[in-house]
């Protein structure tokens, strides 16, 4: 069988280990490789079978480097992990297909939509999913919330409770979207891991309730087999051009089943290990589809109410 490459591996130790463990269930010959700008300083690169140094994805030579790595290491599956790499990899999918590498990323139009939260809101609304009401900053209504339309990792977000919180810097930031405040006293926050097969139909849906977030990434969460599963299956079961893992972030009010969508990340999310341990083995699905040519059925036998509590750990690197 061919090998697997996880790009921009960084701190994604769990994801690399999950792919390695799953690969062993198929063949001892499948290797899991990684790339990073500084592999020696990237913990995940030290747990992969080998790692490769690459330039930033914004530099044109980066895609060339990754193509060469795929050629030389018989890569059959490429797994991207960071938002900035997704448009480049989506747009260059054909180059990788020509050398036998399947890039597990959705088509460029879907990726661009996910990268612009203004367009994401339109997508939600077109599929019957509510979003926070947008607010004209010239007619502010408090409380409200602001975040960059192209942001990530919870950077530059603002909860604005009154006029006193609305600084000139916030008001004049052209990238900020202003919207109604979603009361977390009423709503619970969820990230939903969804896996789409090669046929663009969803094959698995796992809602993860976010209990605590640190640095934009979930640190405590619990799986919930609730109303969200059937709702999302009904509203976005089939999406042309969508493949692999996507993370849908939304708010849910249980008393009346109100759902408010806020963003989509078309990649593995930082909290995916919880879904993996619950039995939603997306690496297995990817290997079956892209290395074995299998057709997947919808899977719903994952474990409910499984909790994840994350902590810091160490990778010790011996001197050269």
| CB-based contact 67:97 (threshold 8 Å) | no
Neighbours of 45 (CB within 10 A): 26
pLDDT band of residue 48 (cuts 50, 70, 90) is very high
Query: Which DSSP state fits 299?
Result: B
pLDDT of 19 higher than 80: yes
Structure tokens at 304: 């409910």
Query: Which DSSP state fits 143?
Result: S
Answering whether pTM is above 0.85, one says yes
Mean pLDDT of the chain: 96
Q: How far is CA 131 from CA 31, 105, 218, in A?
A: 42, 25, 21
Q: What is the assigned CATH class of domain 111-128+184-309? A: alpha beta
- The closest alpha carbon to 197, from 285, 93, 77, 291, belongs to 285
pLDDT of 155 higher than 90: no
Say what the pLDDT of residue 153 is: 64
Query: Which of the listed CATH numbers 3.40.630.30, 3.40.50.20, 3.40.50.300, 1.10.287.3510 matches domain 3-104?
Result: 3.40.50.20
Give the separation between CA 212 and CA 205, rounded to whole angstroms: 21
- The closest alpha carbon to 130, from 231, 217, 230, belongs to 231
Return all residues near 307 (Cβ < 8 A) that are at least 6 apart.
Answer: 220, 221, 222, 274
Continuous H helices in the chain: 13-24, 43-47, 61-72, 86-91, 93-98, 108-115, 117-126, 168-171, 227-236, 272-277, 282-290
Structure tokens at 160: 């604005």
The helix or strand, by DSSP H or E, that contains position 33, with its residue range, turns out to be strand 32-36
201: Cα within 13 Å, side-chain hemisphere: 9
Mean pLDDT confidence for 297-302:
97
Mean pLDDT confidence for 154-175:
91
Say what the pLDDT of residue 156 is: 85
Q: Which residue has the tokens 């790009």?
A: 7
Strands (E), 134-257: 144-148, 158-160, 176-180, 188-196, 202-214, 217-223, 244-253
CB burial of 238-277 (b: ≥16 within 10 Å; e: otherwise) equals ebeebbbbbbbbbbbeeeeeebbbbbbbbbbbbbbbbbbb
pLDDT tens digit string along 208-264?
999 999 877 899 999 999 999 999 999 999 999 999 999 999 999 999 999 999 999
C-alpha torsion angle, residues 177, 181, 187, 191 (rounded to 10) = 20
Q: Which residue has the tokens 């059937």?
A: 230
Say what the pLDDT of residue 39 is: 98
Domain residue ranges in the chain: 3-104, 111-128+184-309, 144-180
CB-count burial class (<10 Å; 0-12, 13-18, 19+) for 167: exposed
**Total count of residues recorded for the chain:** 320
Give the separation between CA 20 and CA 283, rounded to whole angstroms: 9
Say what the pLDDT of residue 216 is: 79
Say what the pLDDT of residue 61 is: 94
pLDDT tens digit string along 51-88?
999 999 889 899 999 999 999 999 999 999 999 999 99
Give the separation between CA 35 and CA 8, rounded to whole angstroms: 5
């Amino acid at each position: 069988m061919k090998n697997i490459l996880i790009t921009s591996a960084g701190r994604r130790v769990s994801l690399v280990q999950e792919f390695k463990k799953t690969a062993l269930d198929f063949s001892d010959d499948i290797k899991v490789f990684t790339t990073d700008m500084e592999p020696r300083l990237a913990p995940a690169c030290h747990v992969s079978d080998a790692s490769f140094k690459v330039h930033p994805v914004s530099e044109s030579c980066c895609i060339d480097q990754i193509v060469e790595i795929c050629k030389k290491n018989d890569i059959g599956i490429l797994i991207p992990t960071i938002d900035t790499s997704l448009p480049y990899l989506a747009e260059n999918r054909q180059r990788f297909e020509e050398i036998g590498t399947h890039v597990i990323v959705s088509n460029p139009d879907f990726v661009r939509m996910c990268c612009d939260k203004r367009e994401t809101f339109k997508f939600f609304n077109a599929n019957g999913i509510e979003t926070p009401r947008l607010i004209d900053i010239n007619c502010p209504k408090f409380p409200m919330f602001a975040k960059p339309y192209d942001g990530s990792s919870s950077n530059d977000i603002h909860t604005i409770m009154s006029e006193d919180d609305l600084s000139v810097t916030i008001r004049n930031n052209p990238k900020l979207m202003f919207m109604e405040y979603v009361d977390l006293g009423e709503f619970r926050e969820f990230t939903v891991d969804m896996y789409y097969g090669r046929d663009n139909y969803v094959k698995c849906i796992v809602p993860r309730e976010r209990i605590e977030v640190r640095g934009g990434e979930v640190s405590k969460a619990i799986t919930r087999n609730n109303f969200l599963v059937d709702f999302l299956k009904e509203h976005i079961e089939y999406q042309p051009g969508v493949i692999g893992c996507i993370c849908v972030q939304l708010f849910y009010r249980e008393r009346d089943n109100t759902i408010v969508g806020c963003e989509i990340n078309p990649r593995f999310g930082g909290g995916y290990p919880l879904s993996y341990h619950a039995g939603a083995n997306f690496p297995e699905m990817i290997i079956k589809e892209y290395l074995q040519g299998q057709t997947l059925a919808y899977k719903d036998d994952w474990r409910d109410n499984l909790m994840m509590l994350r902590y810091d750990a160490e990778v010790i690197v011996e001197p050269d």
